[in-house]
Amino acid sequence: MGRVLLLAGILIVLAAPAASAEVPLFNTTRMYSEAEFTAAIKPYADGIARNANDTDAHHWLGIAYLHAFKLYKFGLAPYAGGFGGRAVASLERSVQLKADPAVMLALAEAYIVVGAFNRWASMTDRQLAAAPPLPVK
């Protein structure tokens, strides 16, 4: 029994740094003032500063910029006028590092929101090519 507890303790200690290094999720259900938005994206910017190849930080930073840009288009975030390009750039970097289907969908949405329909079409083709074929019955 003592060995099991010792092993469990070691595993918890080893797993703790990995869990604390994860980037938090961005809350897309609220509206942010400019100061609140800057504070909300700080963990992602810090994560990218520590590791420029952090796919999760690029993903969530892109999601944050996309959310703010959509609010800007509705007249609710006047500070976010230039965030569409930032969202696309951050999401493209995340897809470049790891072609995660969820990030690819977010990037396709960003292309639509910023009006890059040719890029959206090529992203959609890429997603369809990566999808497994449906079985014939």
The C-alpha atoms of residue 72 and residue 83 are separated, in whole angstroms, by: 9
Output the six-digit token pair for 29. 């259900």
Taken in order of first residue, the domains within the chain and their CATH numbers are 24-130 (1.25.40.10)
pLDDT tens digits, one per residue of 21-51? 577 888 888 899 999 999 999 999 999 999 9
CA atoms of 40 and 45, how far apart (whole Å): 10
Alpha helices in the chain, H assignment, sequence order: 2-20, 34-50, 55-73, 83-97, 101-114, 117-130
Instruction: Determine the pLDDT at residue 100.
Output: 86
Q: pLDDT higher for 17 or 107? A: 107
- Residue 1 banded pLDDT, cuts 50, 70, 90: low
Spatial CB neighbours of 93, under 8 Å, sequence gap ≥ 6:
58, 62
Task: Determine the pLDDT at residue 2.
Answer: 52
pTM, full prediction: 0.77
Structure letter (DSSP) for residue 136: P
- 7 falls in which pLDDT band (50, 70, 90)? very low
The pLDDT of residue 99: 85
Q: Tell me the pLDDT tens digit for each residue of 77-120.
A: 999 999 999 999 999 999 999 988 889 889 999 999 999 888 88
